[in-house]
Amino acid sequence: MEFITNLDQSIAAWNQAIQLPGWLDQGIRTATFFGNSSIIAVLISIVGLYLQRSKGWKVALVFVLGTSGACLTCESIKFLVKRPRPEISQMRTSIDKIPTSPSFPSGHSFSAAAIYPAIAFIIALPLKNLPLKILITALGIVLASLVGFSRIYLGFHFLSDVLVGLTGGFIFATVIAFLVKMPFILGQTSTPEHRNKI
């Protein structure tokens, strides 16, 4: 634990010394909003409704329960661990925008890593073009990772908060992807021919 704490503090101190160009700084600040709880809640609702209409209620249910479960799991861990945030002096924000919830794990990172790769996988699943499937899935992972990086850059979380958040979210996304791919969820019979098509 002492090693992790020292590493977290070292990264936080190193981060304070970074001065990025204005456009890049703003881009990173924008990326963090993709993990905002309000945006995540709206996305879960909209994507859930879309999936219910386009792919059936089973796929929609797996997505909504999986992503909502990720958010609830993260919040539960936060209030069990109750790790303090980095010092205000380490944050790149105005005094009225300082987050007050516990730091571990990063909620933005956790929810983003659950929802964006899951959406990307569901979009990519029916595609026949393998490079395109990989590209879309990778984009979901990259977006989630950018959200995680933004939390460290802004000084709102320690490195370990973000790494655990991303890991937890990716686990939920993987489970969602696994369940969505099941013939029972897709409403198809599990046959060798079907398995080869997927």
Write the DSSP string, 38-70: HHHHHHHHHHHHHHHHHT-HHHHHHHHHHHHHH
Question: Across the chain, what does the average pLDDT equal?
Answer: 90
pLDDT more than 90, % of the chain = 76
- What phi and psi, each to the nearest 5 degrees, are found at residue 75? -65, -35
pTM over 0.95? The answer is no
Q: Which of 84, 91, 97 is nearest to 153 (CA)?
A: 91
- Candidate from 17-21, 36-40, 75-79 with smallest mean pLDDT: 17-21
pLDDT at 27 > cutoff 90:
yes
Give CA angle at 124 (118, 126), nearest 5°: 120
**Residue 38 predicted with pLDDT over 60:** yes
Alpha-carbon dihedral angle through residues 119, 151, 142, 60, given to the nearest 10 degrees: -10
**What tens digit of pLDDT does each residue of 128-158 get?**
999 999 999 999 999 999 999 999 999 999 9
The DSSP output letter for 131 is H
Q: Are 31 and 146 in contact (CB under 8 A)?
A: yes
User: What pLDDT is attached to residue 31?
Assistant: 95
- The amino acid present at 56, given as its one-letter code, is G
How many whole angstroms from its chain centre is CA 19? 26
Count of CB atoms within 10 A of residue 166's CB? 25
Assess whether pLDDT exceeds 90 at residue 182.
no
Per the CB < 8 A criterion, the answer to whether 86 and 156 are in contact is yes
Least reliable range by pLDDT among 60-64, 82-86, 145-149, 190-194: 190-194
In tens, the pLDDT along 157-168 reads 999 999 999 999
Asked whether the beta carbons of 63 and 48 are under 8 A apart, the reply is yes
Amino acid at 96: D
> Are the beta carbons of 68 and 48 closer than 8 angstroms?
no
**What is the pLDDT, as a whole number, of residue 95?**
62
